[in-house]
């Protein structure tokens, strides 16, 4: 029989590498939890219309990359390709915006799915940690989120990332720019698909990575020249607040991001050590998304950072995360009576908050000590029938190799004291 493999473009997270991913998720979410963001979890699939309306029909995500399917009951569903639309849908459904304190601040962590051409740093299943602040139009909120992401990356030890910043205008000034850009694009030599995209959402064409398209875009009208006074003032305030917080950024007038719902502030975190997939995360303000999906006007801002891309960025910089060993004590029992007694002690250690493991499978001393070594435990507790008859166990320091006899009754206290 053929053995099964993970589907193309996906990966399994297995120890010891998986510990890095957990540490990255923890580091990204820590500043959020510290700043009033509550945890939210949404289903892995949603009504397909949520993404078609929210993310945008003209985006590659909806038109080419979404996993859409019909259920046995005839519902049209899609695996979530991104997090914001789901989080906003859940917040609206639970009427979180009616419970007083706005903005509603939420953070999430999960897997997302896009049918892409797999390559390093771009998978069909990937994980993100994201944050959304729903229901307030305030430049300080945009700044807060950028500062928190910067803080998360620095706490991991990342240094070689850059923050790109732009403003996409709002429903007053964007249509004027859109028209100017469409006029410019109509004069270019573009393929049929790109021409169609230019008519639906011309800003997406600026995001086209193909060199022959980029060459033709030289001299295209720049959004900055079309911003209304309110958008200009808003953007300047965001820039001033980030600068005052000591966070470095670069103005990038071509930055549009791949989703239709963005307005005003838009930003991206890029890492130059990752080759073509240089974006490690990004986000922006999406003041019209709530209305697009049938809710009231709720100006909002958010971001998502890729966990897989962040791990690649850490590797590119050679940053080793300081991850403590998952096991502190490893018990090695020689003989049946010792197995019974030491297994009981392992359970007690765990209840006392000490990470402990046991040599399963009835191995001899040599094999069991190899297991103890591999576990990364600081101490091994070894006992045979003779030790137990004297009420003792041997406690071995796996770093120094020193071994001492400890009274069985005092084992828990002794281990706790030595680990402290």
- Res 268: pLDDT: 95
The answer to the question of residue 12 being in a domain is no
* Mean pLDDT (whole number) for 196-209: 80
Q: How many CA atoms lie less than 13 Å away from 17 in the CB half-sphere?
A: 10
Listed residue (293, 288, 294) closest to 50, CA to CA: 293
The better pLDDT of the pair 29, 259 is held by 29
- Which is higher by pLDDT, 205 or 377? 377
3 in a domain, yes or no? Answer: no
User: What is the average pLDDT across 73-96?
Assistant: 95
Q: What percent of the chain has pLDDT over 90?
A: 71
pLDDT at 38 over 80: yes
pLDDT at 203 over 70: yes
Question: Last residue of a domain, which of 289, 316, 343?
Answer: 316
pLDDT in tens, 315-373: 999 999 988 888 999 999 999 999 999 999 999 999 999 999 999 998 899 999 999 99
Q: Please indicate, yes or no, whether residues 266 and 335 belong to a single structural domain of this protein.
A: no
- Mean of the per-residue pLDDT values of the chain: 92
When pLDDT is averaged across residues 220-245 and rounded to a whole number, the result is 94
Per-residue pLDDT, 58 = 62
For residue 185, is it within any domain?
no
- Backbone Cα Rg of the chain: 27
Alpha carbon dihedral 107, 112, 117, 121, in 10-degree steps, equals 40
Residue 191 in tokens: 């393929």
Nearest to 142 by CA among 373, 313, 299: 299
**Domain limits at 365?**
329-419
Burial class from Cβ neighbours inside 10 Å (0-12, 13-18, 19+) for residue 314 reads: buried
The yes-or-no verdict on residue 185 having pLDDT over 90 is no
Exposure letters 37-51 (e unless 16+ CB within 10 A, then b): beebebeebbebebb
Same domain? 244 vs 335: no
CATH number for the domain that contains residue 44: 3.30.930.10
The reported pLDDT for the residue numbered 198 is 83
**Distance in angstroms (rounded) separating the CA atoms of residues 19 and 14:** 8
What predicted TM-score, i.e. pTM, was given to this entire model? Answer: 0.89
Residue 76, in any domain of the structure: yes
Looking at the structure of the chain, the number of domains it has is 2
Taking a C-beta distance cutoff of 8 angstroms, is the pair 164, 345 a contact? no
């Amino acid at each position: 029989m053929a053995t099964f493999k993970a589907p193309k473009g996906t990966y399994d997270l297995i120890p010891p590498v998986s510990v890095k991913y957990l540490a990255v998720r923890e580091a990204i979410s820590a500043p959020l939890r510290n700043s009033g963001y509550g945890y939210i979890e949404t289903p892995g699939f949603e009504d397909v219309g949520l993404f078609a309306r929210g993310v945008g029909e003209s985006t590659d995500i909806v038109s080419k990359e979404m996993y859409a399917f019909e259920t046995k009951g005839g519902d049209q569903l899609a695996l979530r390709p991104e997090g914001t639309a789901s989080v906003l849908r859940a917040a609206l459904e639970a009427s979180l915006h009616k419970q007083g304190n706005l903005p509603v601040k939420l953070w999430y962590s999960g897997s997302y799915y896009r049918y892409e051409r797999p390559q390093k740093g771009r998978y069909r299943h990937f994980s993100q940690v994201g944050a959304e602040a729903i229901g307030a139009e305030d430049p300080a909120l945009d700044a807060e989120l950028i500062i928190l992401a910067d803080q998360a990356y620095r706490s991991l030890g990342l240094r070689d990332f850059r923050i790109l910043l732009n403003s996409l205008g709002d429903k007053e000034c964007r249509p004027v720019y859109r028209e100017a850009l469409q006029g410019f694009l109509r004069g270019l030599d573009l393929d049929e698909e790109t021409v169609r995209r230019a008519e639906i959402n011309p800003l997406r064409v600026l995001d086209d990575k193909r060199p022959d398209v980029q060459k033709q875009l030289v001299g295209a009208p720049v959004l900055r020249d079309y911003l209304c006074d309110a958008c200009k003032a808003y953007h300047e305030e965001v820039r001033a607040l980030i600068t005052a917080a000591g966070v470095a950024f670069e103005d990038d007038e071509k930055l549009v991001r791949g989703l239709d719902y963005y307005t005003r502030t838009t930003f991206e975190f890029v890492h130059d050590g990752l080759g073509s997939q240089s974006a490690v995360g990004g986000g922006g303000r999406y003041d019209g998304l709530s209305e697009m999906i049938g809710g009231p006007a709720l100006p909002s801002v958010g971001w998502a950072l890729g966990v897989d891309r962040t791990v690649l960025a850490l590797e590119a910089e050679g940053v080793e995360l300081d991850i403590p060993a998952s096991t502190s004590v490893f018990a090695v029992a020689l003989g049946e009576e010792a197995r019974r007694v030491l297994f009981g002690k392992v359970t007690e250690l765990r209840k006392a908050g000490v990470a402990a493991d046991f040599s399963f499978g009835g191995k001899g001393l040599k094999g069991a000590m190899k297991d103890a070594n591999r576990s990364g435990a600081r101490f091994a507790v070894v006992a045979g029938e003779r030790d137990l008859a004297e009420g003792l166990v041997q406690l071995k320091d796996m770093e120094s190799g020193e071994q001492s006899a400890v009274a069985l009754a005092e084992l828990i206290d002794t281990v706790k004291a030595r680990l402290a």
